[in-house]
Amino acid sequence: MDLIVEGITRAFQLLIHGDREVLRITALSLGVSLFATSISLLIGVTVGTVIGLTRFWGRGLVISLINTGMGAPPVVVGLIVTVMLWRSGPLGALHLLYTPSAMVIAQFAISLPIVTGFTLASVQQTDPKLRLQILALGASRRQMVWLLLRETRLPLLAAVKAGFGAIISEVGASMMVGGNITGQTRVLTTAIVMETSKGDFALAMALGVILIVLVYLVNLVLTLVQQKGRAR
């Protein structure tokens, strides 16, 4: 209990005093995860909508792969991305391994199936008669898709929260592809693991408190937007 209280106290001290390393780690954590979530949102919503509105051979297999990806262990995703970016790997010439860009790629790979799955489920739940009604009123297919996405905007916000939550808190993939390098790729989760292994539980607890507060603030903003949309 004393460690928890000390950790919370130290977290406030680090933030109030503006500890440069902690602020840098926090900013990198937020930046990498938000960027990865944004890319997965752009691609995931598009792919999920297309699969939800079309029928094609092998559709069930594709949906099963998406559902499997939603539960894929982050450490396995990190391993695959590491092999792809390794100097002898297919993308080794890009020299992205142990950089923030590699962390974005890994977190994107984790978040994409989640966003796609949520979008697919949301689109499938819309009444088929609504789609026919929209088209019967003279709307183009693009306009119909846009209207359906507006109808499912609340579940889509849940997809954003789920995708962001899955990657801001993961550690395995980030450590594997980023290397936990001081001043370059160290984020809150990898720093917590490192400080715990060193026995500095107070600092690890402080970083954990900062991570929880960060996640809470992001989800608070998304929740307020979601509730505002529901009130309309």
- pLDDT greater than 90 at residue 98: yes
Q: Which of 177, 174, 162, 160 is nearest to 92 (CA)?
A: 177
The pair phi, psi for residue 55, each rounded to 5°, is -120, 130
Q: Confidence class of residue 201 from pLDDT cuts 50, 70 and 90?
A: confident
pLDDT digit string (tens) for 129-186?
Answer: 666 677 666 667 777 777 777 777 777 788 888 889 889 988 889 999 998 888 889 9
Q: What is the pTM of this model?
A: 0.86
Say if CB 201 and CB 7 are below 8 A apart.
yes
Say if CB 70 and CB 77 are below 8 A apart.
no
Pick the CATH number of 2-231 from 1.10.3720.10, 3.40.50.300, 3.40.50.1100, 1.20.1430.10: 1.10.3720.10
Which whole-number Å values give the CA distances from 42 to 47, 48, 64, 71, 128, in the listed order? 9, 10, 21, 20, 24
**pLDDT for the residue numbered 225:** 75
Q: Confidence class of residue 115 from pLDDT cuts 50, 70 and 90?
A: very high
Question: Residue 29: which residues within 8 A CB-CB, separation 6 or more?
Answer: 168, 187, 188, 189, 211, 214
- pLDDT greater than 60 at residue 230: no
Q: How distant is the alpha carbon of residue 88 from its chain centre? A: 28
The residue extents of the domains of the chain are 2-231
What does the longest C-alpha to C-alpha distance in the chain come to? 66
Q: Lowest-confidence range among 95-99, 102-106, 204-208?
A: 204-208
- Return d(Cα 122, Cα 73) in angstroms, integer: 24
Question: Residue 28: which residues within 8 A CB-CB, separation 6 or more?
Answer: 100, 185, 186, 187
- Side-chain-side CA neighbours of 148 within 13 Å: the count stands at 31
Q: What is the mean pLDDT of residues 10-27?
A: 77
Question: Residue 92: which residues within 8 A CB-CB, separation 6 or more?
Answer: 85, 86
- pLDDT greater than 60 at residue 53: yes
Q: Which of 70, 73, 40, 14 is nearest to 213 (CA)?
A: 14
Which one is predicted more confidently, 94 or 1? 94
Say if CB 106 and CB 156 are below 8 A apart.
no
